[in-house]
Chain A
Amino acid sequence: MKMTPTVIIVGILSLLTAITLVVIYWPYTHRVTAPSEIFRNRSPEEEAGRKIYLANGCVYCHSQSIRAFDWGHGAERIAQAGDYLGDEPIVLGSERTGVDLSQEGGEHPDDWHVAHFMNPRNTRPSSIMPPFEWLGMERLTTLTRYIQSLGLKNADDRMQRQRFFKQHAVRAFEAGPVENVRWLASEIPEGWHQIPNPYPTSEASLQRGHKIYQFFCIGCHGPIGDGMGPAQPWIYPPPLNFTLLKGRKLSGGILYYQIMNGITGTAMPYFKRELESQKIWEVGNYVAVYFINQSDANQEPRGIDSSWEPGFNLKQKSADD
């Protein structure tokens, strides 16, 4: 084959044209995508927030593309082509240094986002996201509107739930600590009230609880559990002050439930995606021992002790029989 300029130029251009027609033009013209069931158009303010999101490179760490085998944030809904109809450009992302944001809208209330933007370590102590305080409150508010729209109709449902429970949470907080604690406990299914922390307190378990506390809780509840962590100025109702809770009949089960499920409407997120059972019990017991100064760990009723637990008391057991 003799490679003349004509052969080269005509050859490469025909190949590129053919390939472009097949892999770009064909799918573009022959695929009509219907809006998915969660699709809606964004409001002008959400659209303005999206511009801030694009201008500041959020897309380099946050994907918007939930896959069939994902477990984390937003994994309840696998992405469909019809979700993206309003996106120009589409920002699927190529790297997940932070969480996927496809379904972020309504996962947290607005005040959590403000605290988080001011410095992400305010609410998420191990985060490596840089602070966005420099955007200023006006742009942060607009950006938050976009973030809260992610997930479209699903996000709207979640936001409605956030707003609904926020009213209750604010009312309870403003009625004082007694009413606040009563309200918090009253929202928890009855069975959990009766369950003590099933694991005994040990030096090692407190150390593990301490570590979990530092990775997840310290930003809001603070190093001494008084609710004065660095996120506190941005959050309302403010983080719970654990030191007021002694003698208020907070079982290990109540603490467990709150950590697992969060308190929608407040900045308290759920941790069930990030912490397995033992970690939740142990951070709960850490809070109970150090900040509330009252723990029900390993008290009755407790069933058969786990095989790893030290200190088997045969006498006590046979007395029960």
Chain B
Amino acid sequence: MPNHGPENLSNRNRTAEAFTLTSAFWFAAATSFGLIAAGYLIAPDFMANIEYIHFGRIRPMHVNAVLFGFVTPGLLAAAFYYVPRLLRTRLFSQRLGVFNAVFWNITIAYGMIAISTGHTQAREYAEFPWVVDIMVVVCFVLAVFNILMTVRRRKEPILYVSIWYVCAAVILTSITYCLGNVIWKPDTGALQGIPDAIILWFYGHNIFGLLLTPLALGLAYYVLPIATRSPLYSHTLSLLGFWSLIVVYTHIGAHHLLQVPVPTWLKTISVVDSVAMVIPVMVFLINIWYTVKGKLGEIHSDIGAKFVFTGTIYYFFVNIQGSMMALPYVQRITHFNNWVVGHAHIGVLGFAGLLALGGLYYILPKLTGRPLHSRFLADMQYWLVLIGITGFAIDLTTVGLIQGNAWYNGETVYRILPEIHPYYVLRASLGVLIVIGAYTGLYNVIRTLYFNRGAKS
């Protein structure tokens, strides 16, 4: 079980606060972008001819803001809170941490402006132009430095599993980000031909595999045992889960390219080990679900833990779905359509996003020493986001099956468009719920951090 550091260690953690605010802000911004994009799919003449928010630009803005503005900083906020506590020390440098967060916001904002004005490298998840790429790498390197120096100054000899995951996430992403963005070619940020697809999906897949997932698992390993006052079920499973995740997740990106002329052995590896992803995922889930077994009451009473636990259930679904989608026979139907969009939303919002939100709500009362501004609003956000993402999962999967089966039977893309229109309307409506949830969360976070009139706990 993670140890609570003594209270006198917790001076105000400005770094965690700054990342919390960053995450809450970009959640609201990113979902707004997503809603605009969803609007275009329903009514393409809606906001026609406004260059800067045109569909082809607002969609990558949405994706990048979610990945690098909302989820990553949200999970890092919690990490900057629990890493020092688990190590019984202070964060190496609060000043560096706050600078890191400020620079992070400048980076994302710059990236948004770049994409919105057409300065994009047009590779999914790697759209940011070279200057922004460098800034993103600087952000990660600063986080690596701050965290590793904290590890070095620790007073707790044993490294808890959350620390392993946080270290792996920031260190490995600093590297895969450079590789995936082909950072040694500032002009295009790309290789030529098929190798470009291989390196892009190696990287794209590892944004989930080596950034969001390890950060999210580290958070779950921290929050759930404490919230339920239970010791972690198994150290051996923690080890197995960690190393199998690093081994397996890292090399299966080619399952995005099963229908593309890339070397067959690469496809084979990616298919086989996409199925093997069941190992790290189930090992983690067995470990964490056995830890909280019989303690749903404690989870329910802590809004942070509630988000986190719900996220682990989505982790189960997204993994089963992901392994299945990597089978070539299944992928004939699911590739190129909204099934994949659904999968991405289940993974990034349903799993990593819910965990990030859980992290924010878990640490906020501890950062401020007061209860949340409003538990009601936090619960409301929980249900808005949960209904939204569950609806997304059902709606987008259904549309994907309609599209995939129709195409496979010889219908053309154009013929299916009127048929899927109602599902796009439903999708945007569900998106409204998520957007309202995001703004509710932003309001709650700001009130809790800066205008909280509640009694000090």
Name A's B-contacting residues (CB within 8 A): 1, 3-5, 8-9, 11-13, 15-16, 19-20, 22-24, 27-28, 31, 33, 54-61, 63, 65, 67-73, 79-81, 84-100, 119-121, 124, 126-131, 133-134, 215, 273-274
Contacts and interface: CB of A to CB of B under 8 A. Distances in A.
Contact of B44 (A9, A15, A33, A127): A127
B49 A28 contact: no
Contacts of B59: 57, 60
Contacts of B338: 95
A9 B266 contact: no
Contacts of A90: 190, 192-194, 196-197, 200
A33 B197 contact: no
B191 A19 contact: no
Contacts of A63: 336
B198 A54 contact: no
A94 to B, nearest CB: 6
12 contacts: A11-B243, A16-B175, A16-B250, A23-B202, A57-B56, A58-B56, A59-B122, A71-B410, A86-B193, A90-B193, A134-B51, A215-B418
A133 B198 contact: no
B1 interface: no
B190 A88 contact: yes
B266 A23 contact: yes
B56 A56 contact: yes
Contacts of B194: 31, 33, 81, 84, 90
A130 B48 contact: yes
B88 interface: no
A23 B254 contact: yes
B412 A274 contact: yes
Interface stretch (B166-174, B281-289, B307-315, B346-354): B166-174
A138 B315 CA distance: 48
A2 to B, nearest CB: 8
A96 B337 CA distance: 6
Contact of A28 (B55, B122, B191, B410): B191
A14 B13 CA distance: 34
A8 B167 contact: yes
B40 interface: yes
B171 A9 contact: yes
A23 B262 CA distance: 11
B57 interface: yes
A84 B193 contact: yes
A56 B41 contact: no
Interface string B37-68: 00011001100111100111101100000000
A57 B122 contact: yes
Interface string B83-124: 000000000000000000000000000000000001111111
B266 A12 contact: no
Contact of A130 (B44, B152, B246): B44
B188 A88 contact: yes
Given A88-B196, A89-B189, A274-B412, A5 B159 contact: yes
A130 B55 CA distance: 7
A73 B44 contact: no
B172 A128 contact: no
Given A95-B340, A130-B54, A274-B415, A24 B179 contact: yes
A273 B200 CA distance: 33
B122 A91 contact: yes
Contacts of B243: 11
Interface residues on B, range: 35 or more
Interface string B191-235: 111111111101000000000000000000000000000000000
A22 B254 CA distance: 12
Nearest to A134: B49
B256 interface: yes
Nearest to A71: B410
A79 B302 CA distance: 53
A15 B247 contact: yes
A127 B414 contact: yes
Given A71-B407, A71-B412, A88-B188, A128 B196 contact: no
B155 to A, nearest CB: 14
Contacts of A61: 55-56
B196 A89 contact: yes
A53 B172 CA distance: 32
A5 B151 contact: yes
B141 interface: no
A67 B120 CA distance: 27
Contacts of B262: 27, 81
A92 B175 CA distance: 24
A109 B263 CA distance: 36
Given A27-B266, A71-B412, A274-B412, A12 B246 contact: yes
Nearest to A275: B415
B122 to A, nearest CB: 4
Contacts of A124: 414
B189 A99 contact: no
A54 B96 CA distance: 37
Nearest to B190: A89
A90 B196 CA distance: 6
Nearest to A29: B195
B48 A13 contact: no
A277 to B, nearest CB: 14
A27 B263 contact: yes
Contacts of B49: 131, 133-134
B144 to A, nearest CB: 10
Contacts of B200: 89-90
Nearest to A80: B261
Interface string B120-150: 1111100000000000000000000000100
Nearest to A135: B51
Interface string B153-193: 00000010100100110011001100100000000111111
A97 B414 CA distance: 9
Given A73-B412, A95-B340, A31 B263 contact: yes
Contact of A1 (B123, B175, B239, B332): B239
A65 B260 CA distance: 7
Enumerate the 6 nearest inter-chain pairs by beta-carbon distance, A residue then B residue, closest first.
A57-B56, A89-B190, A54-B122, A55-B118, A134-B49, A96-B336
Interface string B247-284: 10011011011011111001001000000000000000
